[in-house]
Amino acid sequence: MRRSLAILVIATGLYSDAAPGEVLDAGPGGFSLVHDVTIDAARSDVWRAAVYETGKWWSSDHTISGDARRMSIDPRPQGCFCESIGEHTGVVHLTVTSVNTNVLLRLTGGLGPLGLMGVNGNMTWEFFDADNGTTVKFSYAVGGYRPGGLDEIAGPVDYVIGEALLRLKAHIETGDADNAIVD
């Protein structure tokens, strides 16, 4: 957890002005953001990669263990967006609250270091047919309490979510999430 908190603190200084995507609203009590990207693949293939290959496209920089291969999603209500740390140890990053295969995945909780704060969030992944593939939309609304206010961390969280979506696109289209171009 300390590693993720440190990453968030570092990201606050480095990425708050350069975050891709859009922070829709930010205030002391919370924020909301949205990102979308079109991926050159069928919706079922994008869903499969997003949900079942999380460890191949999520950034190791945004994990507790430092190894994204330990990330997984159990896509059923009350399923877990989890990180395995070792035998019988791990972290629940988010809890799955709604699933409509190939259409929608909704997760609830405080992602990464947000889980250490007095906050809660609702993250929705939506999958739409597009002329040249599939449009994926990630949105995240977070509310609660953090000393200094939550508006100060909206930019860094926006960056992490935007980076994740670009890494998913690169993973599907090139086979290498590290080829993602993140502004």
Q: How many residues does the chain have?
A: 183
pLDDT over 90 at 9, yes or no:
no
pLDDT at 52: 98
Give percent of the chain with pLDDT exceeding 70: 87
pTM confidence score = 0.87
Check pLDDT > 90 for residue 99.
yes
List the domains of the chain with CATH numbers. 2-179 (3.30.530.20)
Tokens at 125, concatenated: 């992944």
pLDDT at 19 over 60: no
Q: Reply yes or no on whether the pLDDT at 13 is more than 70.
A: no
Note the pLDDT tens digit of each residue in 135-174. 999 999 999 999 999 999 999 999 999 999 999 999 999 9
Sequence-separated (6 or more) residues with CB below 8 Å from residue 40: 132, 133, 172, 173
pLDDT tens digits for range 52-66: 999 999 999 999 999
What would the DSSP string read from start to end of the chain? Answer: -HHHHHHHHHHHHHHTTT-SSEEEEEETTEEEEEEEEEESS-HHHHHHHHHH-HHHHS-GGGSSSS-GGGEEE--STT-EEEEEEETTEEEEEEEEEEEETTTEEEEES--GGGGGTEEEEEEEEEEEEETTEEEEEEEEEEEEE-TT-SGGGHHHHHHHHHHHHHHHHHHHHHS-GGG----
**pLDDT tens digits, one per residue of 28-50:** 999 999 999 999 999 999 999 99
Portion of the chain with pLDDT greater than 90, in percent: 81
pLDDT at 7: 39
pLDDT band at 21 (very low <50, low <70, confident <90, very high): low
Q: What is the CB-side half-sphere exposure of residue 74 using CA atoms within 13 A?
A: 12
